[in-house]
Structure 1
Amino acid sequence: MATFGSTDDLHGAEFVDTDLRGARFVGADISGVVMRGVQAEGVEIDAPWLFDGENVLLVNGVDVVPLVDAELNRRFPGRADRRATDPEGLATAWDRLEHTWAATLARVDTMPSGTVDVSVAGEWSFAQTLRHLVLATDTWLRKAILGEEQPYHPYGLIDVATADDGFDVTVLAQDAPSYGEVLEARAGRVAMVRDVIAGVTPELLASSRPNPHDPAHPETVLSCLHTLLEEEWEHHRYAVRDLDVIEGSEGA
């Protein structure tokens, strides 16, 4: 099986009558890719930035982005609130998100021991997903909004392969914490967001903050909270997707 990595430049490549059945693209940039006369039965696309800006994804001439967005809102009640712009709406959005995660945590508690550490197709396990959300909170709340000099919890998890240049991974734990420790860290971060949102005002939401990944690029407090809400809902979707696979394999 041929494998192409970051050092292989396939920009502008043309594939004619090529057999790509079963191929897997991870972290690949396929923006502007044109497919004509292709067989696409069973194709699965996961694009977390699909709903940013004015993105378009045409399937047989139909822009499916609004359709996918609406279907995800139907499947995950409360997801549509992630773009709230006022204090009351943000409080509602976070409350509904908390209830959604609570239900998922309760579901995991009913599954076999060790489920939280199972990786599906090389993706993060459930416990690792929670650890990443600890880091996301530290980045967009503690670092960006609150401006803390040492915002990171040692249990946070980052994809080192795609981490921003200069990110100090030494602040993160080298050994995996127990699931109980992960839950404790996660609960603390969730409470922090809840408390901050409870105290925001329209003026604070509109105030400027340095982007945590590029300080020269300004963000508003509102845009930081929107990014955090997007992170939460996307990773919840991943987690539920993989839990469904795990449960399906148990019943097979």
Structure 2
Amino acid sequence: MRRFEDEDLTGAEFRECDLSGARMVGVVMQDAEIDGLVTNLVVNGVEVMPYVEAELDRRHPVRLLIRSDAPADLREAWRQLRNDWATTTERVRSMPENSENHGVDGEWSMVETLRHLVFVHDSWFRRCVLGLTEPFTAIGLGPPFIMDQEENGLDPSAQPGLDEVLAVRVRQASEIERWLAEVTPDQLAQTAPVPDDDRWPSYAKGRTVRQCLRTVLNEEWAHHGFCKRDLDKLSRRDYAR
């Protein structure tokens, strides 16, 4: 276990780090920001995550629909998520040229974010929910820190434009909408037909169809939030100029 004692970590950035079980004692933490999978976070003796989750639900009611087991709620969640992305797409088109390809603070650009969601659809919906073994869409963008891109059929050198990625997204959205229109609660509760191979995400074996679909919807919601956040930062920078 690494121990930091009497260290000045002002301005430090921890990216893709596992801080599970970390203890911070006698620390000064002002103007800090935490983004990630956080559970059981205790601050000064208080478990704060229930408050954080409740506030996120208040601000984003679609999260309640995403967690529902009712097909009608899931259909409405998907409709809202698609509308949110449509609004954000209109916004980026009104911004300075090439804004969709600008990342902020080391994060993905909007185009890269959408490419990642193409990959999420292929992996968590087509493979896990539908049980298909077809290759991933080449322009998809997977998490490079835990998987080999080329071995999974992705093209690391791809540089598609916004319209090309959106065209793929429209086809994928139609696929989900057709499936959601007919799915039943019993089907959602079944074990997901994850192909019996070692391709991503092989660790999903044993999960239910509902759990795999929830991953898709959560990824759509979370990455839309990241995208909006970064477009806000880009807008402020352009305004400052």
> RMSD between aligned alpha carbons?
1.9
Q: 2:43 aligns with which of 59, 63, 75?
A: 59
Distance 1:190 1:227 in 2: 15
Q: 2:217 aligned with 1:234, yes or no?
A: no
Distance 2:79 2:168 in 1: 19
Give the conservation status (yes or no) of the 8 Å contact 2:136–2:153.
no
Q: Following TM superposition, by how much is the alpha carbon of 1:216 offset from its aligned partner in structure 2, in angstroms? A: 7.8
The within-5 A match list for 1:1-252 is: 12-47=1-36, 49-50=37-38, 55-163=39-147, 168-172=151-155, 174-211=157-194, 213-214=201-202, 217-252=205-240
Distance 1:42 1:216 in 2: 37
Corresponding residue SS for 2:192: strand
Alignment TM-score, normalising by the size of structure 1 = 0.86
Corresponding residue SS for 1:18: coil
Q: Are residues 65 and 216 of structure 1, via their aligned partners in 2, closer, same or farther at CA, if it must alter by over 3 Å?
A: closer
Distance 1:222 1:186 in 2: 21
Q: Are residues 32 and 171 of structure 1, via their aligned partners in 2, closer, same or farther at CA, if it must alter by over 3 Å?
A: closer
Distance 2:113 2:201 in 1: 20
Q: Are residues 148 and 167 of structure 1, via their aligned partners in 2, closer, same or farther at CA, if it must alter by over 3 Å?
A: farther
Q: Amino acid of the residue matched to residue 134 of structure 2?
A: Q
Unaligned runs of 5+ in 2: 195-199
Residue 5 (structure 1) aligns with = none
Q: Are residues 166 and 237 of structure 1, via their aligned partners in 2, closer, same or farther at CA, if it must alter by over 3 Å?
A: closer
Q: Following TM superposition, by how much is the alpha carbon of 1:217 offset from its aligned partner in structure 2, in angstroms? A: 2.9
Q: Between the two proteins, what is the percent identity of the paired residues?
A: 40
Give the conservation status (yes or no) of the 8 Å contact 1:81–1:89.
yes
Distance 1:101 1:74 in 2: 20
Q: Are residues 93 and 154 of structure 1, via their aligned partners in 2, closer, same or farther at CA, if it must alter by over 3 Å?
A: same
For residues 33-64 of structure 1, the C-alpha deviation after alignment (integer angstroms, 9 at most, x for no partner) is 111111100111111x22xxxx3111122222
Unaligned runs of 5+ in 1: 1-11
Alignment TM-score, normalising by the size of structure 2 = 0.90
Distance 1:215 1:73 in 2: 28
Distance 1:46 1:166 in 2: 25
For residues 10-36 of structure 1, the C-alpha deviation after alignment (integer angstroms, 9 at most, x for no partner) is xx2222211000111001111111111
Q: Are residues 142 and 229 of structure 1, via their aligned partners in 2, closer, same or farther at CA, if it must alter by over 3 Å?
A: same
Question: What count of residue pairs does the alignment treat as equivalent?
Answer: 235
